[in-house]
A and B are shown apart, each in its own frame.
Chain A
Amino acid sequence: TQLLEQSPQFLSIQEGENLTVYCNSSSVFSSLQWYRQEPGEGPVLLVTVVTGGEVKKLKRLTFQFGDARKDSSLHITAAQPGDTGLYLCAGINTGTASKLTFGTGTRLQVTL
């Protein structure tokens, strides 16, 4: 079974701070996705990274796929209360087509 470990598990910060969430695996993935999940809702896709070393930006969020395609990071600049939620990475493998393997999750709380 492929595992995607996320760190930290929990993060509580104040508005305006920066943070980085990590997603690590011993396995290689063909692509990786990041989702955000709010209480009482399902996960919502934020981004898909496909190429090793790829960097994508979504407003204050920066996503990076590791060169070896085994890890990824999500950096949030100047966090806002609206960023609060559960962040999940999910790996996709060549051999499993539609199947996503989700990470363990990072629960972020941003306070005023």
Chain B
Amino acid sequence: NAGVTQTPKFRILKIGQSMTLQCTQDMNHNYMYWYRQDPGMGLKLIYYSVGAGITDKGEVPNGYNVSRSTTEDFPLRLELAAPSQTSVYFCASSYSRAGGYEQYFGPGTRLTVT
């Protein structure tokens, strides 16, 4: 099993550009999550999904959009990139609610907006 995979690993965007961060898991997990990790800070939840077709906002959703058309894929869309979105983005998945079930994380996407 590949687990959770993310692409790209690195990306530099200009202010106002848009992009999609890809996330795929092959563990047949229902729950998927997007986090951002800023230097010296804990991970912050952006969006999560409890299954195909169902998504919900996390702690810091502004400036992002998600979709979940399949169990495996959970892309994160940035429409108008801003310097405040410079961060490392992690996708994760879990069998059920992450409180009691381990979250499996992808390797991360390092995004710089200039």
A and B interact: no
